[in-house]
Structure 1
Amino acid sequence: MRLEMMLAAESVSELLAVAEMNSVAVSVDQRRLEELEDARAKVEGVQDDLDRHKREQMEVLAEVEAISAEMAVTLDDRRALLAELADEVEELEKQVRREEQLAPEPPPEPVVEPPSTITPAATPTSDVPEGYVSTGVTFGGVASWYGPGFAGNLTANGEIYDPMGLTAANKELPFNTLLFVKYNGRGVVVRINDRGPYAGDRIIDLSQGAAETVGMSGIGWVDATIVVKK
């Protein structure tokens, strides 16, 4: 159409006018073309972003699925381990019950006399003193003693503590149990009327009087024998 207009021009001025119009039209078309190119580039950029996000989402989804699968395997392993441990515990409980059924009856505790009739031996000796007999139950360990700072306090069995009395504290033996305690070759019979000691691995806490009888001034190793009066 633009060519027809140029051919139809009857003068140079008309031809120049048509040429100018054509130039303006070409400029407009060029701008539109550039705008279209820009728009297409933007669309392609957006599409690239969408594709990238989609790939990232797929990668994240794959990682989540892998973690889920690993967690499922770990959970199954833990369940299997718990089941195995439960079976072992049940078997151990059965074994303990069988051993308890086969275990012999424990020996009776030594019969001891009430406090009012017990008079421990106050004279140091290396052997079980006259008037007492060994039960055959012996043990050894670290001993200590306690004295004036506890005078007048109640012992674990309700007595008033006498530091110079021939008594002792032990964590397990029944109250009024008689013990023949030896230290460095000297021995004394004491009566259990308190609980302790609770320091380290000590097995017995002698009264001040008992410690002085065997010559103990601090802590030391003792050998003890449960005795009863004849």
Structure 2
Amino acid sequence: MPTLYFSRNPNPRLAVATAKYLGSEIEFVWASPFDPASSERFRKLNPSLRVPILVEDGTTLWEADAIACRLSMSAGSTFWRLDPELPELIRWISWGKANFVHACDMVHFEFGTRQRYGLGPVDPVKVAEGEALFRASAAQLDAHLETRAFLLDSGLSYADFRMATFLPFNAAAGLPLADYPAISRWNDRLSRIPAWADPFAGLAAPELPFVPPRAR
């Protein structure tokens, strides 16, 4: 049986949510590859020591998008489109990682990751850069979602999960989702999908260190 090594951080969460949504027959194993006691073993699976990592038939695959593609193909699902909509799926994954997702990541890193792991004080310059990119990209995304329920006209796809990677962590980041009604409605729809709302249900996975919600 394939094994998915994961943590509760954003990209591993994305991989677990995808596997849960697809009903993938895999073993979920929480991992902490940066722990000195584990690093040498995990370095053989992923030189960067980052999860998620999928181990299947003696081979390893890392990076959440690649894992999602593999799991969707294995499940015979169209969650990762393999039809004429594939370019549209790739467009939103690519655009999101350079724009909306990147902006959310920048701000979350300062108010979430830095505080959670003691990586130093918030960098106000990086926050300002992230918030500026968020406003520009959120306006474009909101306009696109105004006339559709999900990113692709045909309905829910992996592109939606990828675009929303950091939204479950927005209490820490404090980005103004309410200013963008179509994004807020889309996020609510995703939150009603059990696999997205609580991908760790039933799994042994320590909670992330607590960080307080961002004061606005």
Name the structure with the higher strand share.
1
- Tell me the TM-score normalised to structure 2 length: 0.18
Name the structure with the higher helix share.
2
- Tell me the TM-score normalised to structure 1 length: 0.17
Q: Which has the higher contact order (CA 8 A, sep 6+)?
A: 2
Q: Which has the larger radius of gyration?
A: 1
